[in-house]
Amino acid sequence: MKQLLSNLLSIGFFGLFFVLGLLYAASANDIYITQSGATLDLDITQDGQNNTIGSSSTVSSISGATTNFDIRQVGNSNVITFDVNGDNYTGTWNITGNSNNIDFKCDSGGSNSSCATATANITWTGSSQDIDLDIGETSAAGSATVNITGASGSDSNVVAATIDGTSAILTLSVNGDTNNYLIDIDGNGDINGHTLIHSHTGGIADVDITQSGINDQMINLTTSGDNHDIDISQTD
């Protein structure tokens, strides 16, 4: 009888730890990256629960001549952070729902810090966004193309995008909720100059746009409802 009871207890504890292990696995999602090399193709999908990609104290750092990203986070706590040092970057970031928070820097120092060509496509659908993007921090990018799109619930927003490049195109389309963008496109534009294409539908918007440079500066601005406060400054 004692042996039977002992066996039952052992099975019970094993089952409990097994279930707890499954629960932990279901809630985990981490990835911390440090990569150095000539060429990188990076595809990551995090489906549900606590997500993240960089942390334990903000690791996700990549150095290399050519870098291609395809990163998807589907639901829950999200958080992406990346420092990319290299000549050519192309990335697609797709975030679906919940706490969001994206921080991206291309050219943040180091031996491969030119970020000569950068293309970033960032899409979110809902929840608490806070997107910060910085391209050409220590050395102006030759060509930068950034598309930031939000929809389907949109939610709390805040986008701060800084691009320092001789040719820069930023397309920003939001849709709704609390909004608040601060956009700075800087550097001495070449013949292609700097272009900002902005679209907005509703929310408590507060938009501040600055462009500077030698040649063409173009803003295509479409807004709609709620409490706008928009400041625009262009030079040359």
Q: Could you read off the pLDDT of 96-136 as tens digits, one per residue?
A: 888 888 888 887 555 545 678 889 999 988 888 888 888 88
For residue 178, what pLDDT band results from cuts at 50, 70 and 90? confident
Residues 35 and 65 in one domain: yes
The predicted structure's pLDDT at residue 79 = 84
Average pLDDT over residues 41-59: 80
Residue 105's closest CA among 75, 80, 77, 84? 84
The predicted structure's pLDDT at residue 191 = 62
> How many CB atoms within 10 Å of residue 49?
15
The predicted structure's pLDDT at residue 23 = 43
Residues 113 and 164 in one domain: yes
The predicted structure's pLDDT at residue 155 = 81
Q: How far apart are CA 97 and CA 99, in angstroms?
A: 7
Residues 124 and 183 in one domain: yes
Which is it for strands 39-47 and 181-186: parallel, antiparallel or unpaired?
A: unpaired
Domain hosting 6: range is: 1-29
Residues 117 and 78 in one domain: yes
Q: Which residues pair with 76 in a beta bridge?
A: none
What pTM does this model have?
A: 0.79
Task: Domain count for the chain, please give it.
Answer: 2
pLDDT tens-digit map of 186-196: 766 666 678 88
For residue 27, what pLDDT band results from cuts at 50, 70 and 90? low
Contacts of 214 (CB under 8 A, 6+ apart): 188, 189, 190, 236
DSSP 8-state assignment for residue 22: H
